[in-house]
Amino acid sequence: RASIPVLFSQGYNPSPRVSFSQALPVGVESEVEYFDMDLAEPPRNPGEMTSSLSEQLPPGMTVRSMELVRKREADGIVTSYEVVLVRTLSREQRDNISRFLSLKSFTITRVRKGRQRELDIRPLVQSLNAGGSSLDFELISYNSQAGVNPREVLELVVQLPEDERLLARVKKVGIADFLNP
């Protein structure tokens, strides 16, 4: 409908070659999402393509920008979050954050499908900053590997009580490729 020359997969049921960013965790809002499309030809006018695609989206949803990128293999994705809390962090909670950031490892245990799994989340939290009644942090996720949910950071690192975690406003505000140095 937007007249974009998207490539299709081969085979019995061809589908557009489009891939979307990771799904949002439950209870998290987003200001930024992305998707990749394989095109049959380079766009003549990316601005026009942006407009024509936006016109086909549901009300309230727009494409802010498009850019041409070569296929690349990032090691992972860095996702930035902002969290507005219902009250100012206590001294103990700020100390929990400082202690966490000083550690090389922070292993959690998850129970999924009756099995226990351990996951070191410290390398997955790239940054974590507290300011009064707000937090901002960056989480690294790798393709097809277990990751950490922003609400797990609030629970396990900051040690917010459950009622405050549920009332916290968690917003995804940025996405970037992560390349190991």
pLDDT of 72: 63
Q: Which residues of 17-39 are buried (b: 16+ CB within 10 A; e: fewer)?
A: eeeeeeeeeeebeeeeeeeeeee
The last residue of a domain, from among 53, 71, 89: 71
Query: How many domains does the chain divide into?
Result: 2
pLDDT beneath 50, residues of the chain: none
Does 59 lie in the same domain as 10?
yes
The last residue of a domain, from among 17, 39, 71: 71
Q: Give CA–CA dist 63/81, Å, rounded.
A: 20
pLDDT of 160: 94
Does 60 lie in the same domain as 107?
no
Q: Give CA–CA dist 46/63, Å, rounded.
A: 11
Does 82 lie in the same domain as 141?
yes
Does 90 lie in the same domain as 53?
no
Does 42 lie in the same domain as 21?
yes
129 burial level (CB within 10 Å; 0-12, 13-18, 19+)? exposed
Does 83 lie in the same domain as 54?
no
Q: What's the pTM? A: 0.82
Find the CATH number of the domain harbouring 125.
3.30.70
Provide the 10 A C-beta neighbour count for residue 61: 9
Does 172 lie in the same domain as 96?
yes
Does 158 lie in the same domain as 127?
yes
The last residue of a domain, from among 9, 40, 71: 71
pLDDT of 74: 65
Does 86 lie in the same domain as 160?
yes
Q: Give CA–CA dist 157/119, Å, rounded.
A: 14
Q: Give CA–CA dist 91/3, Å, rounded.
A: 56
Detail the DSSP E strand segments found in the chain.
Answer: 18-20, 28-30, 35-37, 76-84, 107-112, 115-120, 125-131, 134-141, 169-178
Query: Within the chain, what is the greatest distance between any pair of CA atoms?
Result: 61
Domain that includes residue 88, residue range: 76-178
Provide the 10 A C-beta neighbour count for residue 174: 13
Does 136 lie in the same domain as 174?
yes
Does 165 lie in the same domain as 114?
yes
Q: What letter does residue 75 receive in the DSSP assignment?
A: S
pLDDT of 116: 92
Q: List all residues 6 or more positions away from 5 whose beta carbon is below 8 Å from its beta carbon.
A: 39, 40, 41, 43
Does 83 lie in the same domain as 56?
no
Q: What is the pLDDT of residues 52-63, one digit of tens each?
A: 888 888 888 888
